[in-house]
Structure 1
Amino acid sequence: MSMFFLVLLFFVTSILSRAIENQTSELDKSSRIRAQLEKINKPPVKTINSPDGDIIDCVLFHDQPAFDLPELKDQNITLEPPEWPVGYNISEDTSAGDENIQLWSASGEECPEGTVPILRTTEQHLLRASNITRFGRKGGDGSRHEYAIAYVTGEQYFGARTDINIWAPKTNDLEFSLAQVWLTSGTFEDKNLNSVEAGWQVNNELYLNKNPRLFGYWTRDAYQTTGCYNTLCPGFVQTNKRVALGAAITPISSYNGKQFTLNVMVWKDPKSGNWWLSIGSGILIGYWPSSLFTGLKSHAEKIEFGGEIVNREVNGHTTTKMGSGHFPEEGFRKAAYFKNLNFVNSVKQLFTIPVSKVQEYADRPNCYDIKVSSSKYLNTHFYFGGPGKSPKCI
């Protein structure tokens, strides 16, 4: 056989081998996607198509992902409401956040009694993901996280409450921008960080559009192997039938125009020990079971409020914006803000956090900054955010 035919045979064999490898890889990826979708999605009693393209599945309460947890699987849970913190008067809470705050339920849609709304994860979601097995989790991808936050520490904390200004910041592909409250114990360095988090986010990897969305998150090992957003893994127990974690929220603030806020409160129920989430005027969304945690079984050691972005740019800084995309100095109706910073103390009382106790942290102040203050109408509050890449942020 001539050298020409030997070379030709080798060339054809190589192409066929690569084609078979690619086909095998695609089949393997497809089977992994199907397996992941079966884990996340539960059989719906009713399906609701949201105007923004989301699909909401109404799942029987005990069929939701949380009940895949061994410690919850066989429990006959009675939905006894939690004790509200002393000093929290539901009737006086006038912030935005009633049960029509989400696009899918704004027309009056709701899930039937005995079911809860779960945002459906589709193959399209997972095909966009940088890591299928870590879909719905923070960390583990080498991306840089940047912050502009206010925080308090040094005491035992049993809850936090605040009003978060709602925006829809521009974000790059596979990056996110959020505004949230964190309640934590342990440390990132010791890998024992426990955290419960809630607020709004724009996340191009997790969702299929750039609407701001209500979300929650938890971890007990510094985001290594435990925890996730919303109900994307067993953890958060959804109890509300008209408000879904992960679904888009409305209305949104506009620059130099009308401002809208989302009231968020996370606190430890003294009866059950579970960490409950409420929004607006006392609307219970659900809870993170105490059994998920180690340090947070007892109390939080730190409360943080503020913004976070992911920066995946290799050369220079990302153009992903935080908050309104404007710096704190621009003030009301232009910069994003948190107002009415509150904490729950050891005897379950809700108090305003004194401005003298609040510390600021911004790791890239030329890109995203924060300015804490106090006033008669906003109480302890702060403006935060920024444009990302700019002449002074490179």
Structure 2
Amino acid sequence: MMKIMLFLRFVAVLCLFTAARFCYAGRSRFSGSRENFEVMKHLNRLNKPSVESIKSPDGDMIDCVHISQQPAFDHPFLKNHTIQMRPNYHPNWINDDAIQVSATMKPSKDEASSSSENQQTITQLWHSNGKCPKGTIPIRRTKKEDVLRATSVKSYGKKKSVSTVAYPNSIDPEYINQNGHQHAIAYAEGEFYGAKATMNVWNPKVQQYNEFSLSQIWLLGGSFASDLNSIEAGWQVSPELYGDNNTRLFTYWTSDAYQATGCYNLLCSGFIQINNEIAMGASISPISQNQGSQYDISILVWKDPEEGNWWMQFGNGKVLGYWPATLFSYLTEKASLIEWGGEVVNTALDGQHTTTQMGSGQFPQQGFSKASYFRNIEIVDESNNLRTPKDINTFTEQPNCYDVRTGNNGDWGSYFYYGGPGRNPNCQ
């Protein structure tokens, strides 16, 4: 009898253990299904029905989406928004091409300068396989694996903290070491209604998939607390965001210091695109070569004094679209700080500084055809005129890792070289 009782107890325990395993497995499968459901739901929100799709040589799929179907109109403030097909006002015209061989091969007054008439017509890789028809805009299709690389569905396409902005006036050594973001920038403080620059494009090496390297313009308003407003545009290499190490055109915006609002490119509602030629987040081609041809892109962002919207232009006449004024608080009026330059993420793996490069990966003193630069730096003033800022300052957290040097001459106007290799004997 005792043996039977012991056997029954053993069977009961075994059943409970087996049931627990199945329960746990059930919860795991449910959790995975739930995650998969959220990912697919997010993809359905992002990937709008397309009129045509174009396969890019780099593997991207570019969807030509009707202009009225773009993600911007998912925003509650923009449900009944009437698309503004052109700005009411434009600052003094900039005669640049979208991407070209640098017009000035030597920025120094004391060195011979030359120019190239051989301008490139392909500005993004996908252009080689087709173009989007009028009435549509090109959108880089988001894949499931893109979303799964993020820490969560909610965080996909978003920056993680206000530390992504350089704040030159409050540098705490402990803050520098903890925030993981490092910069080499030029900046101007005052009242601004736009900013412009021409920057050469590189393909910096990024050490870790969750690090990035970018070069951009920041237009900022508000404090560096929870109310920061920011509009950003430039080029970046971000394996976590795009799944590769290509150099890509990007934009970003936030109205609450990167907490809940804003995103990269068209990965949330907000930016309204009107141009059918340029895809946000798509690869840029060609790229500058060390001691070879230098390829520039020009970016201009300015505030329409009539509607209050912030417009973006890429190169000569390619007006891409605008950020509606209703997205912002401080930037509904003006920007108080403009920054131009580079940024990297330093995860300091194993306690060592990252080898992620900024710009070309060369220090500024290497000069033209080796170092990265911003040239023809300008701001838009209260009269909607482009002009050189009166006072340009520079900032970098660790100049032995990434540095910046300014200059001025007739061909390049106000300019600066910036960047660096990251970890080196003087940067550990």
Instruction: State the TM-score bracket (shorter-chain normalisation).
Output: over 0.9
**Which position in structure 1 is the counterpart of 2:45?**
39
Question: Which one-letter code corresponds to 2:99 in the other structure?
Answer: A
> Among the aligned pairs, what percent are the same residue?
44
Please give the alpha-carbon distance, in whole angstroms, between the structure 2 residues aligned to 1:10 and 1:66. 52
**Which position in structure 1 is the counterpart of 2:363?**
327
Q: Deviations over 1:273-298 (max 9, x none)?
A: 11111111121111111111100000
Quote the offset at 1:19 in angstroms: 2.9
CA contact (8 A) 1:143 1:312 kept: no
Matched, 1:133 2:154: yes
**Which position in structure 2 is the counterpart of 1:383?**
417
Please give the alpha-carbon distance, in whole angstroms, between the structure 1 residues aligned to 2:232 and 2:84. 25
Please give the alpha-carbon distance, in whole angstroms, between the structure 2 residues aligned to 1:342 and 1:81. 19
Among 319, 336, 360, the residue aligned to 1:301: 336
Q: Give 3-state SS (helix, strand or coil) of 1:308's partner.
A: strand
CA contact (8 A) 1:47 1:58 kept: yes
Segments of structure 1 that go 5 or more residues without pairing to the other structure are none
Q: Deviations over 1:69-103 (max 9, x none)?
A: 233222333413342103x24xx325626763011
1:147–1:262 Cα change, 3 Å? same
**Which position in structure 2 is the counterpart of 1:262?**
297
CA contact (8 A) 2:72 2:269 kept: yes
Write out aligned runs for 1:70-81 (5 A).
70-81=76-87
Quote the offset at 1:330 in angstroms: 1.0
Please give the alpha-carbon distance, in whole angstroms, between the structure 2 residues aligned to 1:131 and 1:376. 49
1:78–1:227 Cα change, 3 Å? closer
Matched, 1:113 2:134: yes
1:237–1:94 Cα change, 3 Å? closer
Question: Which one-letter code corresponds to 2:143 in the other structure?
Answer: T
Please give the alpha-carbon distance, in whole angstroms, between the structure 2 residues aligned to 1:133 and 1:13. 34
**Which position in structure 1 is the counterpart of 2:401?**
367
Please give the alpha-carbon distance, in whole angstroms, between the structure 1 residues aligned to 2:21 and 2:209. 33
Please give the alpha-carbon distance, in whole angstroms, between the structure 2 residues aligned to 1:22 and 1:392. 48
- Which has the higher mean CA deviation after the structures are superposed, 26-35 or 226-235? 26-35
Matched, 1:239 2:242: no
Please give the alpha-carbon distance, in whole angstroms, between the structure 1 residues aligned to 2:63 and 2:212. 25
- Which has the higher mean CA deviation after the structures are superposed, 311-320 or 37-46? 311-320
Q: Deviations over 1:256-287 (max 9, x none)?
A: 11111110100011222111111111211111
Quote the offset at 1:16 in angstroms: 3.8
Q: Give 3-state SS (helix, strand or coil) of 1:370's partner.
A: strand
**Which position in structure 1 is the counterpart of 2:324?**
289
Question: Which one-letter code corresponds to 1:327 in the other structure?
Answer: F
**Which position in structure 2 is the counterpart of 1:148?**
184
Q: Deviations over 1:318-375 (max 9, x none)?
A: 2211101111111111111111110110000111234xx1111101222111111212
- Which has the higher mean CA deviation after the structures are superposed, 235-244 or 143-152? 143-152
Quote the offset at 1:6 in angstroms: 7.5
TM-score normalised by L of structure 1: 0.92
1:32–1:296 Cα change, 3 Å? same
Write out aligned runs for 1:8-27 (5 A).
12=18, 15-27=21-33
- Which has the higher mean CA deviation after the structures are superposed, 191-200 or 93-102? 93-102
- Which has the higher mean CA deviation after the structures are superposed, 171-180 or 11-20? 11-20
CA contact (8 A) 2:71 2:268 kept: yes
Please give the alpha-carbon distance, in whole angstroms, between the structure 2 residues aligned to 1:22 and 1:332. 56
Write out aligned runs for 1:50-129 (5 A).
50-86=56-92, 88-89=93-94, 92-94=95-97, 96=99, 100-107=122-129, 109-129=130-150
Segments of structure 2 that go 5 or more residues without pairing to the other structure are 1-5, 101-119, 163-177
Question: Which one-letter code corresponds to 1:336 in the other structure?
Answer: S
Please give the alpha-carbon distance, in whole angstroms, between the structure 1 residues aligned to 2:43 and 2:88. 32
Quote the offset at 1:56 in angstroms: 0.7
- Which has the higher mean CA deviation after the structures are superposed, 366-375 or 215-224? 366-375
Please give the alpha-carbon distance, in whole angstroms, between the structure 1 residues aligned to 2:392 and 2:229. 21
- Which has the higher mean CA deviation after the structures are superposed, 16-25 or 223-232? 16-25
Question: Which one-letter code corresponds to 1:150 in the other structure?
Answer: A
**Which position in structure 1 is the counterpart of 2:392?**
358
Question: Which one-letter code corresponds to 1:247 in the other structure?
Answer: A
Quote the offset at 1:123 in angstroms: 0.4
Quote the offset at 1:22 in angstroms: 2.5
Quote the offset at 1:14 in angstroms: 5.4
CA contact (8 A) 2:98 2:314 kept: no
Question: Which one-letter code corresponds to 1:116 in the other structure?
Answer: I
Measured on the aligned residues, the alpha-carbon RMSD in Å equals 2.1
Please give the alpha-carbon distance, in whole angstroms, between the structure 2 residues aligned to 1:360 and 1:17. 59
Question: Which one-letter code corresponds to 1:382 in the other structure?
Answer: F
